[in-house]
Amino acid sequence: MAKKDYLNNLFGGIHKRYDLLNHVLSFNRDKSWRKTLVDQAESHKVERVLDVCTGTCDLAMEFARRVPDVSVIGSDISDEMLRIGYWKIKKAGLNGRIKLQQSDLFYLPFKDNIFDAVSIGFGFRNLHDFRAGIREMVRVLKEGGLLLILELTLPKNRILKALHLFYLKNVLPRIGGLLSGSRDSYEYLSSSIIVFPKQDDVLEMLRAENLQEVSFRSLSGGVASFFMGKK
């Protein structure tokens, strides 16, 4: 089975408890991490944003709430995730601000150079080809547009890293399995964090796709990282 088909089935299987698990397993820090990403976009006065791997649309909704007059498109390959996102958007009164599009990140159905920012929150590590994914996101960015990546990572501090590895290998799969009924899914999610490239390697990938002013910021001691580059 191709990785994208595997992931589509994986997230389709846990979609009903996906939001709860994100909040519980990140100790509710995922909300503040998304705010950090949107803070960067706010300072550049973005008007048109594409949020890829949008899942149940938390990041897309954060953009719509925080950035005046922004137009947001949330794109994801999982129909089950988008269905939940649709009802969340409607409940929040944001259905006029966000449009949803089921699509594969590697084949985005948009013209070149049309978005002020492209964001991806907690989905980058799941890509089967990081460089190709970056290239496609950069393609749809305007000149001067921002690529914004929020991802779960390992701390650099040796003690924090050891503690976090214990959590990822022993705690997260057990709790995630109990709450979602799918321990295998959370074993995959744990391993995807453990094998994710180091921060410097991600920055090199961004530079290799001709992005400028690339940078990263460690969040919560390195449990998450925010990466940014300008086209």
pLDDT at 163: 93
pLDDT, block means (10 residues), the chain with 231 residues: 58 61 72 93 90 95 93 94 94 93 96 98 93 98 97 94 92 77 74 92 98 96 95 97
Structural domains of the chain, ranges and CATH numbers in brackets: 3-153+197-230 (3.40.50.150)
- The percent of the chain in helix, strand and coil, each rounded to the nearest 5, is 55, 20, 25
pLDDT at 40: 87
Structure tokens at 140: 């749809």
Q: 174: which residues sit within 8 A by CB, 6+ positions away?
A: 183
pLDDT at 3: 62
pLDDT at 18: 67
Tell whether pTM > 0.95.
Answer: no
At 73, give phi and psi (nearest 5°): -115, 125
pLDDT at 1: 46
Residue type, 140: V
Helical axes 18-25 vs 3-14, angle rounded to 10°:
90
For 167, other C-beta atoms within 10 Å of its C-beta total 14
d(CA 42, CA 44): 5
DSSP H stretches of helix in 104-220: 130-139, 158-166, 172-180, 183-194, 199-208
pLDDT at 2: 56
Give the single-character DSSP code of 211: -
Structure tokens at 80: 């089950």
Beta strand pairing call for 224-230 and 141-152: antiparallel
